[in-house]
Chains A and B, each alone.
Chain A
Amino acid sequence: MSSGLNKKLWYRAFVLLLVLVIGGFGVTTFSLGNIMLVNSDFYREKAESQQLRDTVIQAARGNIYDANMNVLATSATVWQTYVTPSSISKEEQEPIAKGLAEILEMDYEDVLKEVTADTGYETVGSPVEKETADKIRTFISENGFGSVVGLDETTTRYYPNNNLLSTVLGFVGTDNQGLSGIEYSYDDVLTGTPGRIVAAKNAKGADLPFSYEKVVDAEAGNSLVLTIDEYIQHVVEKYLEQAVEENEVTNRGCCIVMDVNSGEVLAMATKPDYDPNEPFVIYDEATAEAISKLTGDEKSEAISTAQQSQWRNKCVSDVYEPGSVFKIITGSAALEEGTLKTSDHFSCPGYIVIGGERINCHKTQGHGGQTLKQAFMNSCNPAFITIGQNLGIAKFTEYREAFGLESLTGIDLPGESAPIYHEESSMGVVELASESFGQTFKITPIQLITAISAAVNGGYLYKPHVVKQILDSDNNIVENIEETVVRQVISEETSAIICDNLEAVVSEGTGKNAYVAGYRIGGKTGTSQKIDTQDEQGNIRKYIASFCAIAPADDPQIAVLMLLDEPNVPNPYGGTLVAPFVGKISEEILPYLGVTPQYTEEEAESLSTTTPDVMGKSLSEAKSAIAEAGLTARVIGEGDSVVRQVPGASSSIPKGGTVVIYTDNAEEQKATTVPNFEGMTVSEANEAAVNAGLNIIIEGSTTNSTAYSQSIEKDTQVETGTVVTVGFRETVTVQ
């Protein structure tokens, strides 16, 4: 019996043990199965995060250089301050907020909001540079906030020239991704491939030595070399900004300089613009003020609209009616097709009737009889309507397409707008008439300058581009972007005729204000009505004034197109408002591009000369030197030697000008007041300058012209003999 009991007891014990063993191992096996099979990914990640440090190495974004390898955009490391609010004790909140607000120059309440947030991680302020980052590090270590305040490394983009080229360069977002301009269109080239460091961690969380580390190096992004020349861009922006301000332009202005023989864009500007270092700031003061009065969604929407507007590259993204500048294209097509000859004559009574519609010329009294060259010089609408009618709808549209005006140019910039025009099938004689002188259709400025470049370079249409080279991180060439000829549109003979006519426009026609002594400048004025702004009474009060120059006219190298959208001044004509600025741009960039001036005898005669150095010389020697330079001496004092001269040595002075010399016992220097030259004719300005004892240098067109600028402001007290440069421009109606 006891034996049976024992057996039973043993059996039960065995069963219990078996159950325990099976149960215990079962749970373990189940747990292992769960860990190894079901949730393997979760536990693997957890183990890896505990044992390994996996760090992404940000790839350095490539630089952007101008054509001469000047840096236009580059990247560097900055630091983003962060806090871990869930780990911050109540006692720590205030000192942390106070300290960070002081260092980051932020509002205390704003920082406190971040510090007391109901989250585990909050960034504070914007990324900071080393100096500020060091202050934060000191603040953290001195106060023992290491576990709740920190700095994350990130990168920022620097644009050293601030606003220069901003609408073309674009900018990057906080994640270093291109959001606009070249930064956007070449984002995949500029962005490299991020690398990784996978390292084993020790008990303290620090990295274990080399053998436990796997490094996959980041591949830096490639750099871009632009066709844009920083100096030409600077000149263009300087004069465009002046033009926009002086003419109170309300819808921005833009300007493009293109190498007509390659399609390379040498400069491209839109004003007003923005600083890509801080692209989200609203730079237009009036807009910013208006936005500040708004609240809620309305405010957000207004901010977004204003930002989009200031970032917009008007040269490629805005379409406009080109006006009379388009007559270059109409003329080129007709000459090429043989429906127009240089010997043709046109009659302009001030209007023309087409399809029962009366279309006026800008000169309502009419230009009378004129040759083709005169039609170009006068920018006569009836003449070009006639040229267009003779060409016919089919050929007109054929050449419009051939000049690339029915499609995108394919420029390597984002946001290029498509043109708006009448299809051949929907075009009647009236539409043909209006399109012949550049109205009732819209194209972008980049399309127009590309087409005009083709018209003057021998007929070759090039694809415009702003990037000419891609470099690797060691500046080795990865890719050369060569010019692309799309097609030949017109013959070299036709192109030469167009150049000849355009030169006449500047030397004798409506483009006189773009004249530059020593250079053969050609060009075409344009004043287009913004037909879509027509009011209920049929009045159009908004205009676009534009001018396109080519230089040198006998062998074109560059084309310059500038337009002012809605100038708010009387007589908003392209020839009056825009041509003088295009002339100034040409005058500065042509010598820079190595185009030497060739003065005519008349021009050489009117050129200024340079004053000799007569300081310290005897009176007789000084007088002799001044006379030898073709100048007149005016002596003040009765001494024997010269102690002072005005203008100083090597100054520019008009031929026959007066040099005032002071002798050793001269009394006080003679002062005079600069008169107001504005509105004076050349002879009136000369007389005023002589009366005031000043030397005057005349700039710009001198026929039918009046003064519009002077180098020294009116009523300024200057020494007698000082040289004042006065700018003149033709003010008669020049479209």
Chain B
Amino acid sequence: MQDIYSAYDVTKAYTTNTSAAPKRPIEPSRRAEIKRLPVQRRQPKRKSGVATKVLIAAIVFFMLFFNIFTKVQISDVKTEIDAADAVIEELNSEETRLNMKMESMISYSKLEEAASALGMKKKSKSQVHYIDISGDDHAQIISGDE
């Protein structure tokens, strides 16, 4: 059996050497073979179209799923962020409350009460010595020729 593809030896059919082109007319039997060829080529193409459609559908489905999944994820994260914000606000508030509680515990009146309970007294005038550190500006040369 003759190889049907031998006629389509691209090296021959598309040779640039025009002088090498066949001079004989193509035989009818070969023509028929040539006509059938497109039929033979359409079959794998149909198979490829379905696959593509399936593939596209799968991609679309995947994208849709991915989109929905992403939105669900974002929604979940947003909820978590909101919850975290609420916790932060709560903790900030608690910090303020505890700071205020601490401030009220170390107010001047409370300190005086505590010091008094411990038998402490305020410094008397005799225990305070004022030192006059004011004076004229002066410079001191610590090294050099002069």
The residues of A with any CB-CB pair to B shorter than 8 Å are 70-71, 74-78, 129-130, 158, 160-162, 164, 202, 206-210, 230-231, 234, 238, 517-518, 591, 596-597, 607-610, 650, 652, 697
Contact = CB atoms under 8 A, between A and B. Distances in A.
A609 to B, nearest CB: 5
A258 B38 CA distance: 108
B104 A162 contact: yes
B94 interface: yes
Interface residues of B, number: 29
B79 A207 contact: yes
A160 B126 contact: no
A158 B108 contact: no
Interface stretch (B24-32, B58-66, B95-103, B138-146): B95-103
Contacts of B101: 160
Given A160-B104, A652-B121, 4 more contacts: A161-B103, A207-B75, A207-B78, A597-B130
B124 interface: yes
A705 B14 CA distance: 136
Interface in B101-146: 101, 103-104, 107-109, 112, 121, 124-128, 130
Given A77-B90, A158-B97, A202-B75, A608 B125 contact: yes
B83 to A, nearest CB: 11
A596 B125 CA distance: 11
A596 B78 contact: no
Contacts, number: 82
B128 to A, nearest CB: 7
A597 B125 contact: yes
Given A71-B100, A202-B75, A209-B74, A231 B127 contact: no
B85 to A, nearest CB: 11
Contact of A609 (B74, B75, B103, B126): B126
Interface in B71-101: 71, 74-75, 78-79, 82, 89-90, 92-94, 96-97, 99-101
A77 B82 CA distance: 16
A161 B107 contact: yes
Contacts of B92: 76-77
B100 A74 contact: yes
A130 B90 CA distance: 7
Contacts of A208: 75, 78
A650 B126 contact: no
Given A76-B97, A78-B93, A238-B109, A591 B126 contact: no
Nearest to B125: A607
Interface of B: 71, 74-75, 78-79, 82, 89-90, 92-94, 96-97, 99-101, 103-104, 107-109, 112, 121, 124-128, 130
Contact of B126 (A77, A162, A608): A608
Q: Which 6 A-B pairs have the closest CB atoms?
A: A652-B124, A160-B103, A77-B93, A76-B96, A234-B108, A158-B100
Contact of B125 (A70, A230, A517): A517
Nearest to A652: B124
A130 B97 contact: yes
B3 to A, nearest CB: 63
A652 B123 CA distance: 8
Contacts of B94: 76, 129-130
